[in-house]
Amino acid sequence: MALEVILFWICSVTSVVAALFVILHRNPILSALALLASLFAVAGLFITLQAPFLAAIQILIYAGAVMVLFIFVIMLLNLQKDPERFAPQGVPVTLRFALGLWVFIGLSIPILWTAFTWAMPPTPGAYSVSHLAELLFDQYLLPFELTSFLLLVAMVGGVVLAKKS
């Protein structure tokens, strides 16, 4: 148990710090790499929750495919540090701070009100591959197929947009 608690704290602190790094750093490549670290930490959290399948998929899809394309695009566009982001123009500072505070409070209240239960599987091995497959292809077949159809449409759309230009 002690090991799991230590792992939980390592992973959660890493994911939060890395996520902050993503939005605070000015170099887009380093931000992307910090996002990668954050994704890894979330995969570690999945493992402490006894869901290794989700952890593997998290790394396979997000770290192995999505982030590679992000970094690829950033490199192709050759983005430099963006000096404009913190530029003092447009909205006055006080208003921006007030807006940020309002969003923060608005997000905090529902989080604090929600009574989170322990996110452990109801029975041992409930997050196993075969169990997930049964859920996806039996109970939730229609949403699953609709999602895949949506992805297909997005893919075709991407190809059409790329062909035009």
Binding-site ranges for another protein (CB under 8 A) = 29-30, 33, 36, 52-53, 56-57, 59-60, 63-65, 68-69, 71-72, 75-76, 128-129
Minimal distance in Å, beta carbon 28 to another protein?
A: 11
Q: CB under 8 Å to 43, separation ≥6 — which residues?
A: 54, 55, 56, 58, 59, 63
Determine the Cα–Cα distance for residues 38 and 36; give it in Å rounded to an integer: 5
| Minimum distance from residue 10 beta carbon to another protein (Å) | 18
Q: Provide the 3-class DSSP secondary structure of residue 119.
A: coil
Which is closer to another protein, CB of 61 or CB of 103?
A: 61
Report the C-alpha gap between 47 and 121 in whole angstroms. Answer: 12
Looking at the Cβ atoms of 76 and 93, the one nearer to another protein is: 76
Contact (CB, 8 A) for 45 and 18? no
Judged by beta carbon, residue 19 or residue 54, the one nearer another protein is 54
Give whichever of 11 and 59 is closer to another protein, judged by the CB atom: 59
Q: How far is the CB of 123 from another protein (least distance, A)?
A: 16
The tokens for 157 are: 């759309």
Distances (CA, A) of 82 to 9, 50, 87: 33, 41, 10
CB of residue 55 to another protein, shortest distance in Å: 8
Minimum CB distance to another protein smaller for 69 or for 162: 69
DSSP symbols for 11-50: HHHHHHHHHHHHHH-S-HHHHHHHHHHHHHHHHHHHHHTT
State the minimum distance, in angstroms, from the CB of residue 111 to another protein.
30
